[in-house]
C-alpha cells in the first residue's frame, strides 16, 4: 500500500499533502524532530525522531520504497529514496528521478564547495515559495501518487 512520507522540517506544503493523501485514503507519515502540531486526521501519523543530524532523513530512507511517495528538499535523502524505488518530489513539484538525481547531487556538492570557498559568506537563500510553486506541487503530487499506486500493484 502506498505511503506518503513528508520530511516535515521547513516543509511549506504539509497541509496540501494531507488533503491529497486524504482524498486518496493514503497513510501519511509526517517526520520531524519536534515542534509540529499533530494532525487529527486518522490517516496522518506524526513521527517525532530524536534530535541529531539527519535522524528524520534516516527514518524515512529506512522505510520508503517502491509504491511510496516522499516529499523532501534534502537531496541526499531524495537519492536514497529514488534508489529504493520511491517517487520523490521537492516542495515546488519538481521530481527527483533516477535520470536526474546524480546531477542534483553533483550540483549540491558544487554549491557547498563554492559557499565554503567564499570568505564573505555569500548567498541570499532561495527564492520565496509562490502560489505557482504550490499549484505545481499539487499537480505533481497527484500524478506521482497515481504512478506510485500503479508501482505498488505491479
Burial per residue of 19-53, b for 16 or more beta-carbon CB atoms within 10 angstroms, e otherwise? ebbeebebebbbbbbeebeebeeeebebbbbeeee
Predicted confidence (pLDDT) at residue 24 exceeds the cutoff of 80: yes
Percent of the chain at pLDDT above 90? 68
In the predicted structure, residue 124 carries a pLDDT above the cut 60:
no
- Report yes or no: 19 and 28 within 8 Å, Cβ to Cβ: no
CB 87 within 8 A of CB 147: yes
Range of the domain at 24: 3-98+131-153
Q: Is residue 113 part of a domain?
A: no
Number of domains the chain contains = 1
Q: Is residue 118 part of a domain?
A: no
Question: In this structure, what CATH number is given to the domain that contains residue 80?
Answer: 3.40.50
> Is the residue at 45 inside a domain?
yes
Mean pLDDT of the residues in the chain: 89
Q: How does residue 8 score in pLDDT terms, banded at 50, 70 and 90? A: very high
Amino acid at each position: 500500500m502506498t505511503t506518503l512520507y513528508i520530511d516535515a522540517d521547513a516543509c511549506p506544503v504539509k497541509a496540501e499533502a494531507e488533503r491529497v493523501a486524504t482524498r486518496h485514503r493514503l497513510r501519511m507519515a509526517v517526520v520531524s524532530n519536534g515542534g509540529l502540531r499533530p494532525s487529527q486526521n486518522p490517516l496522518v501519523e506524526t513521527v517525532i525522531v530524536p534530535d541529531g543530524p539527519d535522524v528524520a532523513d534516516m527514518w524515512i530512507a529506512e522505510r520508503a520504497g517502491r509504491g511510496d511517495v516522499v516529499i523532501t528538499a534534502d537531496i541526499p535523502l531524495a537519492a536514497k529514496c529514488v534508489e529504493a524505488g520511491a517517487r520523490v518530489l521537492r516542495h515546488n513539484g519538481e521530481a527527483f528521478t533516477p535520470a536526474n538525481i546524480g546531477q542534483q547531487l553533483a550540483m549540491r556538492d558544487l554549491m557547498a564547495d563554492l559557499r565554503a570557498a567564499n570568505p564573505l559568506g555569500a548567498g541570499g537563500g532561495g527564492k520565496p515559495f509562490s502560489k505557482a510553486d504550490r499549484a505545481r506541487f499539487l499537480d505533481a503530487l497527484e500524478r506521482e501518487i497515481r504512478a506510485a499506486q500503479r508501482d505498488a500493484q505491479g
